[in-house]
Structure 1
């Protein structure tokens, strides 16, 4: 997993990488065989958390993570059709309402975290922002907050969102499908190979173009793939092994963020972070239930659409559980940019209110 120009891994580090790959792949395949929603993503993430906390000292290269995001983005583009776009155009008011509610609930949880959890206001204000984890960490550092605690709060919430999302999907009767929706239609082998190469080219180009944008490695391939598919230029072709690699790369990247020094540093604050994350998820689930009742949408789609964070993870779960992928991605993307645009303002208000 070394990038060109980086030093060669030592034999012990290479052994740890091989062990991580074997365990992550095995866990993903096991959960997938048990029909756990997003099992190919959830298994590697849990294994990577264990490796990180046990002091493996591994860090997945950012380009590998972005390539995984690009594959997921192109997979989601497979679900973008003219009928889906028309339905989304009719639901814009619901998306705006859901985004505003999620941001407001995250501010309330942030205030409670400061008041009852003993976390500094400057840190809690950024750590409870619902989405755009990497962007929130960067902005928090620029505003003088403790970036380590903010990063841990963000990724603790992502893990909670993924695990609870998989559990809710399972309880509602949804099962994992392995991303089969993005496979090619039956046709000549040469045509499939050509479409596969074109699909990979779209992923790589999208990752490069989106490298400077928040979640751009996922969103730009999604938009490129959707435009080419709607125009009849591209038949999106992503084989199961490639999607399994993409899921595993994203899961391992998130899991390895939980290294031993970081967990030791935030150990006393960890229960507060978990309680705050679960509280925000429950509040968003309540809003999802009300919105689903009011709009006639199914609860699973609305739940995934309003879950606080993890755009790529929610995309994976939505595709595998046959939820309304268009609704989920549109609302998650809208909130992503909403959080980035309003993050500094919301953080200042939380700090002002806690000081008052």
Structure 2
């Protein structure tokens, strides 16, 4: 239904953005009803992308995006509790292999997209990043990268990984009993939440003034991680806020995917399959020595090294009856490492036009 022309321009823009966010929420809700891991971000992005192919959708304005990045950083940093940090210290050798694996995954998958798809290095490396999706999108926005195709590759990897990884792990380990859902995380108190968000915003503004790449998510992550890691504050943001952040991220990414031409979207599928295979082969190759070094089943190492989102991989680990401490420690380390380092990993690369196709 078209918005009446007599409405002020800003009100019309706000109504279009509200409609976009509402569509994203519907998509995330549908995936949540189907009990799909990472439902709110993958479902919202997928529905917005589909609708955008049918009819052009607006991009969310910068204030929406920046506030979402601050909230995302606060959520990422809340994972760095003293207990979680202590858990990561139990597997030093395996975690070192994980760091090498991260570099290898990004270089191998990035090289595939660079030389096969003829993408720029910035687009290739951001699409190859195994997780930390909010940080990836923030850096892509700041560097002027093609968020649409980066988001499409990332979404494909999440959906396929969730679909096929349980079967692969069952084949490698003979299966495992389900242990149920993880215990709910404590919700942060109101004074602590005000402190975290205030420090997150202040640090983001300082980083923005210093012209740091992706300043809001980097500053918010750093501030939240310090406050939680030092034991100054306890708990994570309320689940309603976390869900809203996932929906906003899905809306932002889905809107960019919808800007792609239909023939470009079709061309992304074989690239996504190839990139997925490359990243999985590299990840599982490094998981083998890590499992031997840590003395855990190979299936646990596969879940720990799989290039998927923190939420999706954690849920799969619990559903498969794997060692939650080992898997969680590795995904926390990867999540924090990528979230904090991503702005610097590609920050030195100058934007470029993709090489001409043959």
When the two structures are superposed, what TM-score results if normalisation uses the length of structure 1?
0.69
Number of residues of Structure 1 aligned to a counterpart in Structure 2? 320
User: Unpaired runs of 5+ in structure 1?
Assistant: 1-5, 142-146, 185-191, 352-356
Q: Take 2:193 and 2:141, find their aligned partners in 1: how far apart are those partners? A: 36
Q: Is the 8 A contact 2:24 2:248 kept in 1?
A: no
When residues 246 and 126 of structure 1 are mapped into structure 2, their CA distance, relative to the original with a 3 A threshold, is closer
Q: Take 2:58 and 2:179, find their aligned partners in 1: how far apart are those partners? A: 34
Instruction: Give the one of 152, 158, 165 matched to 1:156.
Output: 152
Partner in structure 1 of residue 53 of structure 2: 53
User: Unpaired runs of 5+ in structure 2?
Assistant: 1-7, 130-135, 170-177, 319-323
Partner in structure 2 of residue 331 of structure 1: 334
Q: Take 1:201 and 1:137, find their aligned partners in 2: how far apart are those partners? A: 23
Q: Is the 8 A contact 1:301 1:328 kept in 2?
A: no
Q: Take 2:181 and 2:215, find their aligned partners in 1: how far apart are those partners? A: 26
When residues 61 and 271 of structure 1 are mapped into structure 2, their CA distance, relative to the original with a 3 A threshold, is same
> Following TM superposition, by how much is the alpha carbon of 1:290 offset from its aligned partner in structure 2, in angstroms?
1.7
Q: Take 2:22 and 2:42, find their aligned partners in 1: how far apart are those partners? A: 15
Q: Take 1:264 and 1:276, find their aligned partners in 2: how far apart are those partners? A: 20
> Following TM superposition, by how much is the alpha carbon of 1:45 offset from its aligned partner in structure 2, in angstroms?
1.3
When residues 126 and 269 of structure 1 are mapped into structure 2, their CA distance, relative to the original with a 3 A threshold, is farther
RMSD: 4.3
Q: Take 2:193 and 2:230, find their aligned partners in 1: how far apart are those partners? A: 17
Q: Is the 8 A contact 1:53 1:259 kept in 2?
A: yes
> Following TM superposition, by how much is the alpha carbon of 1:59 offset from its aligned partner in structure 2, in angstroms?
0.7
Q: Take 1:238 and 1:249, find their aligned partners in 2: how far apart are those partners? A: 16
Q: Is the 8 A contact 2:101 2:286 kept in 1?
A: no
> Following TM superposition, by how much is the alpha carbon of 1:28 offset from its aligned partner in structure 2, in angstroms?
1.9
Q: Is the 8 A contact 1:70 1:218 kept in 2?
A: yes
Q: Is the 8 A contact 2:80 2:225 kept in 1?
A: yes
When residues 135 and 31 of structure 1 are mapped into structure 2, their CA distance, relative to the original with a 3 A threshold, is closer
> Following TM superposition, by how much is the alpha carbon of 1:217 offset from its aligned partner in structure 2, in angstroms?
3.2
Q: Is the 8 A contact 2:192 2:233 kept in 1?
A: yes
Instruction: Give the one of 10, 19, 22 matched to 1:8.
Output: 10
Q: Is the 8 A contact 2:44 2:251 kept in 1?
A: yes
Partner in structure 2 of residue 208 of structure 1: 205
Q: Take 1:267 and 1:76, find their aligned partners in 2: how far apart are those partners? A: 30
When the two structures are superposed, what TM-score results if normalisation uses the length of structure 2?
0.69
1:80-159 correspondence to structure 2 within 5 Å? 80-89=80-89, 91-110=91-110, 112=112, 117=116, 119-120=117-118, 123=119, 125-129=121-125, 130-131=128-129, 132=136, 135=139, 148=146, 151-159=147-155
When residues 81 and 135 of structure 1 are mapped into structure 2, their CA distance, relative to the original with a 3 A threshold, is closer
Partner in structure 1 of residue 185 of structure 2: 181
Q: Is the 8 A contact 1:68 1:250 kept in 2?
A: yes
When residues 218 and 22 of structure 1 are mapped into structure 2, their CA distance, relative to the original with a 3 A threshold, is same
Q: Take 1:101 and 1:49, find their aligned partners in 2: how far apart are those partners? A: 31
Instruction: Give the one of 303, 317, 320 matched to 2:312.
Output: 317
Q: Take 2:299 and 2:242, find their aligned partners in 1: how far apart are those partners? A: 23
Q: In structure 1, the residue corresponding to 2:79 is in which secondary structure?
A: coil
Q: Is the 8 A contact 2:105 2:282 kept in 1?
A: yes
Q: Is the 8 A contact 2:70 2:204 kept in 1?
A: yes
Q: Take 2:82 and 2:154, find their aligned partners in 1: how far apart are those partners? A: 31
> Following TM superposition, by how much is the alpha carbon of 1:159 offset from its aligned partner in structure 2, in angstroms?
1.1
Partner in structure 2 of residue 270 of structure 1: 268
Q: In structure 1, the residue corresponding to 2:256 is in which secondary structure?
A: coil
Check if 1:253 corresponds to 2:255: no
> Following TM superposition, by how much is the alpha carbon of 1:282 offset from its aligned partner in structure 2, in angstroms?
2.3
When residues 318 and 40 of structure 1 are mapped into structure 2, their CA distance, relative to the original with a 3 A threshold, is same
Q: Take 1:207 and 1:320, find their aligned partners in 2: how far apart are those partners? A: 30
Q: Is the 8 A contact 1:306 1:332 kept in 2?
A: no
Alignment deviations for residues 90-116 of structure 1 (CA, whole Å, 9 cap, x no partner): 54554443343343344444555566x
